[in-house]
Structure 1
Amino acid sequence: MRVIGTEDQPLGSGSVVGKVFSIWLAAGLFILVTGMFLVESRHLYKNLVYLGIVTPGLLLLFLPKARQIAMTRQFIMLLVYLAFVGISALWSNAEDGVPIKRVVYLLCATISFTYLFSHHRTLFERVGFFAVGVCALVSAYWIVSFYIIEGNPWHQGFQSDSEDHYGTFYNTLLTSHVLGFIFVFYAAYIVLYVDGMKQRTLYLLMSVPVLTLLLLTGSRTPLVSVTGALLSIALYNLNRRSLVVLLLAGLVVAGGLFQFWDVISARGLSYRPEIWLGTLQLMPGKWLFGHGYAAPLLVWIDSLGRSFNDSHNVMLGVLYYFGFVGLMLFISLYARALWLVIKGTADNAMLLVVLAYGLLSGMTDGGGLLARPNEHWFNIWLPIMFFICVDYSNGCQQPPIGEGRAHAERS
């Protein structure tokens, strides 16, 4: 299926090399999106991502044109941030030392993702849509298994940490990050780029099981991040397509509130303000450079009589570990993405959606700041990788892509 009228432009000295890399990366993208649904071993999932996404990214650096990705301004900004993160291990006395391998993993994955998105857009779309279809089928099966076969009441939230195995998922909140990103990215992509109401509706229906499972987790963070990300399209450019987005956002909020109003209202803010304040109280003397990578974090809440080892906010987490210097470097990634949106570059509406989701999903979860492939990639690193995709695509002098996507923003 062809969604956007672009021409693929493979890299490398010959078409064979380009085809090998494109197929390899397409398989890697499929593994990255569906792996946590299809395999039960987290170790196996990580290794498959390393093989399918990280390894080709390293090899791509030997191709002249692929090295242009590493020269993208947004990529350089990410490199500077990750370099500072790695250096911070020197004053945290981290047991694992400087996390060089994790930095390399993220950079290579970014190169792979950018290459596939920018130079094989059709393949990216086809594999991505197929992967979402697989996730939807698995989600539907899990819903049937948990609520019908196991007989759990519908008012009980879906628990991916139950005794029965649900892929590699073990924490319901983290599961909602994966489901939220998949639904938001897919739904927004369909609304923005697929022409024809019937075709658009058909593709959106395919995502219903993912959205349903997301709502059944009972997690409140997705209600904010998914709704906010979808509303960003309507606020940015109100037109007929925006009405579809407004409807989707309304369904997310209504579905979540209807299904779990008692739980949502009873839990309040889940002590988030106390945790945030406790994190800030640990900062004196460490404001500039932070406590350093992998430094211990322990926030004690008197009213609960227990401690938390997570700031429950990405920005606060970055501040705690890497100080104001690291926070400014991290924020600069989002600031440039916002500038690209305001500038009106190609894919700017899609970029705004991912930008909004990345910011909002990190409001109540602060872990995984330099994680291996896991759930945190979906609310921290994949949005940043997409920033670089758009930045590179708009700066690599490919007129057919820019011209071909212009119609995607039409009402």
Structure 2
Amino acid sequence: MLALGLATISMPFWGGGRGAWLVFLSACLIAVLGFFWFAPFILARGLSHRPDIFWSSLNMISQNPWLGLGIGADYRVVTAYFPGGVDHSHNVFTHAAIELGIPGLILWAGLWLAAFRVAWGARQSREGCILLSSLLVSCVAQQFDAASLWESPRAEWFVTWLPIGLAIALAVQRGRTEKRVVSPRA
């Protein structure tokens, strides 16, 4: 819900202008009022031990910082509340670092930054707005529950790879358009 809310609130900024600020401030006000109105329902589950899982994941990364455990390695993130461990780190970036090490994390973050760069360059187009919004939803959602990058497709897999695929498609489309503009047919 947080990811969808942030994407919705931020969408007016992709086009810019005073109207964007008005929509943004109105959406923020509605979100704050909605939070206070529904706070007992929102906070009923607490943080689901995500901070503990995050710190334990960082500890796992520090044990194998350069090579990680390997792609597709089975691992358990052990915390005080889960002595048997949970089967993934609940965060795509820590998951990448656990499996691929710091070099893999840097490459993974670079891929995401490249996708954001493509989306930002095309923010005036409908496709760029869609890509920016989907990247924002994916990035926020993956901070709290992402279990797989390489295994068979499931919901988290699509949230991870669909925006990357859209960024590649948009970059190719923009490259073809720029090529036509630079060298028109005679």
Q: In structure 2, give the amino acid aligned to 1:353.
A: S
C-alpha contact (below 8 Å) 1:286/1:323 kept by paired residues: yes
Superimposed CA distance per residue, residues 129-163 of structure 1 (whole angstroms, 9 cap, x where no aligned partner)? xxxxxxxxxxxxxxxxxxxxxxxxxxxxxxxxxxx
In the alignment, which residue of structure 1 is the partner of 2:145?
365
C-alpha contact (below 8 Å) 1:257/1:264 kept by paired residues: no
Q: Secondary structure at the match of 2:72?
A: coil
Deviation of 1:314 after TM superposition, in Å, equals 0.7
Q: In structure 1, give the amino acid aligned to 2:173.
A: S
From 129, 132, 141, give the equivalent of 1:349.
Answer: 129
Q: In structure 1, give the amino acid aligned to 2:177.
A: Q
Q: In structure 2, give the amino acid aligned to 1:350.
A: I
In the alignment, which residue of structure 2 is the partner of 1:308?
86
Deviation of 1:293 after TM superposition, in Å, equals 1.3
In the alignment, which residue of structure 1 is the partner of 2:156?
376
Q: Secondary structure at the match of 1:396?
A: helix
Gaps in structure 1 of 5+ consecutive residues: 1-222, 401-411
From 147, 166, 177, give the equivalent of 1:397.
Answer: 177
1:80-99 aligned within 5 A? none
CA distance in 2, matches of 1:396, 1:247: 39
Q: TM-score, normalised by structure 1?
A: 0.38
Gaps in structure 2 of 5+ consecutive residues: 181-186
Deviation of 1:313 after TM superposition, in Å, equals 0.5
Q: Secondary structure at the match of 2:60?
A: coil
The structure with more radius of gyration: 1
User: Number of paired residues?
Assistant: 177
In the alignment, which residue of structure 2 is the partner of 1:275?
53
CA distance in 1, matches of 2:24, 2:157: 25
Superimposed CA distance per residue, residues 171-192 of structure 1 (whole angstroms, 9 cap, x where no aligned partner)? xxxxxxxxxxxxxxxxxxxxxx
C-alpha contact (below 8 Å) 2:91/2:145 kept by paired residues: yes
In the alignment, which residue of structure 1 is the partner of 2:101?
323
From 278, 288, 293, give the equivalent of 2:71.
Answer: 293
C-alpha contact (below 8 Å) 1:230/1:249 kept by paired residues: no
Question: Percent same amino acid at aligned positions?
Answer: 26
Deviation of 1:338 after TM superposition, in Å, equals 2.3
C-alpha contact (below 8 Å) 1:234/1:246 kept by paired residues: no
C-alpha contact (below 8 Å) 1:233/1:242 kept by paired residues: no
Q: TM-score, normalised by structure 2?
A: 0.78
CA distance in 1, matches of 2:158, 2:33: 24
Deviation of 1:303 after TM superposition, in Å, equals 3.5
Instruction: Please state if 1:231 is matched with 2:12.
Output: no
